[in-house]
Amino acid sequence: MIHAKRRLAKIKREHFRQHGGLLLFEEMKSRQGLSFALFTQEELEQATNRFDERNVIGKGGNGTVYRGTIAKDNGAVVAIKRCRLATERQKKEFGKEMLILSQINHRNIVKLYGCCLEVEVPMLVYKYIPNGTLYRLIHGGEGGASARRIPFAARVRIAHQAAEALAYLHSWASPPIIHGDVKTSNILLDEDYAAKVSDFGASTLAPADAAQFVTFVQGTCGYLDPEYMRTCRLTDKSDVYSFGVVLLELLTCRKALNLEELEEEKYLSSQFLLAVGEGRLGEILDPQIKGEQSMEVLEQVAELAKQCLEISGEKRPSMREVAEELDRLGKLSLHPWGQPNSGELAALLGGSPSMAADSDQIELSTSTRNISFSDTAYIGIRSPR
């Protein structure tokens, strides 16, 4: 038993070293006030009841996410991601990248609390976001509302918040970070239905040398940048393309990839570009938003999505430009009529009326803070100040 314990401790130390734990630990000691924790395997097993399947809240290509409760943090509810097997490069860079991600502080990005490095494949601990994914909100599902009941202004607002998060990663993070897997299932919604970009399992630091390439294509079919698939070079414009598909989902309520469709109609991006090219935009748009919004505004959002889907990355706008345009379009989309009261809002999203009852006046995000509207209109999304 003594030999077995020593052998296990040695394995844990080796995993910790391989994942850059020593570098991360030294940096944590030298940086005062850095709110980042190194969790043990035992702590995370206890938090999830030994990774009980009943605590699974999501599965994807980069790993499985569990809901857990950290006892030492006064029962803080967290999301714990068990990553899939890492490459040698990822193992070497993991500690450094975790330190960078831990310093990201943006209201529309899920907060990373810490990680566990003493296991073969690292585990990440994030703040728990309670209201599920944008995918579920758009397409429905267990506990999810149908997007056909979500006003257009709310859809633009969520898109704007997600675009702001990606623009922050591309332009203000140091070094810049490329998300690598932008999609509606990686955009979470908090208690106020504000967007929170999540899942950095496919993320990478922007290469300092233009000659640096990834060794294999990763991401999600339906959202993948065709230029990235051809060159295996991941850039910030790869995120822009994927975000363009997210805009299409919000405009059409159709899925990014539908394997039941004919070959030429499987991809939403192809359907959209074909419809626009033939002057049939109105046919592909969600009927609800056509009934509540002027066609001029809808055409401008569609044009922005079209620019994001340019085959050449150089022709696509930056995420900063996308966010600014969505901010402008969001102001245009606000109407003084048709705003539900608090009770109607809660029923709309399947929640309780108390969720929204305490906010009779909602201010828009910092970019539109001079505009306010009564009750909790447009699904009650409130931007953190």
pLDDT digits (tens, 9 = 90+) for 155-165: 999 999 999 99
Lowest mean pLDDT, pick from 96-100, 124-128, 148-152, 167-171: 96-100
CA 149-155-156 angle, 5° bins: 150
Query: Residues 73, 181, 199, 236: which is the catalytic one?
Result: 181
81 annotated binding-site participant: yes
What average pLDDT does this structure show over 99-119?
84
Instruction: Answer for the pair 77, 128: CB distance below 8 angstroms, yes or no.
Output: yes
Instruction: Answer for the pair 20, 96: CB distance below 8 angstroms, yes or no.
Output: yes
Structure-model confidence comparison of residues 377 and 303, the more confident one: 303
What average pLDDT does this structure show over 130-158?
79
**Domains of the chain, each with CATH number or no CATH:** 2-127 (3.30.200.20), 134-380 (1.10.510.10)
Alpha-carbon distance 189 to 154, whole Å?
Answer: 12
How confident is the model at residue 113, as a pLDDT?
87
How confident is the model at residue 348, as a pLDDT?
53
- Per-residue confidence band for 227, with pLDDT thresholds at 50, 70 and 90: very high
Residue pointed to by tokens 């967007």: 195
- Per-residue confidence band for 23, with pLDDT thresholds at 50, 70 and 90: low
Q: Calculate what percentage of the chain has a pLDDT beyond 90.
A: 40
Decide if pLDDT at 377 tops 70: no
What average pLDDT does this structure show over 244-253?
96
- Per-residue confidence band for 86, with pLDDT thresholds at 50, 70 and 90: low
Please state the pTM of the whole predicted model: 0.77
Beta strands (DSSP E) in 36-162 are 37-38, 56-60, 63-70, 76-83, 112-116, 123-127, 140-141, 144-146
Is residue 181 annotated as a catalytic residue, yes or no? yes
Structure-model confidence comparison of residues 143 and 21, the more confident one: 21
From residue 84, how far is each of 11, 39, 294, 353 by CA, in Å?
18, 18, 46, 40
How confident is the model at residue 347, as a pLDDT?
52
Decide if pLDDT at 184 tops 90: yes
How confident is the model at residue 366, as a pLDDT?
32
Structure-model confidence comparison of residues 311 and 123, the more confident one: 311
Q: Could you read off the pLDDT of 314-354 as tens digits, one per residue?
A: 999 999 999 999 999 998 887 543 344 434 444 555 544 33
From residue 229, how far is each of 126, 212, 215 by CA, in Å?
30, 15, 11
Helix (H) or strand (E) holding 196: strand 195-197
**Considering the chain, what is the average pLDDT of its residues?**
77
- Per-residue confidence band for 115, with pLDDT thresholds at 50, 70 and 90: confident
Decide if pLDDT at 240 tops 70: yes
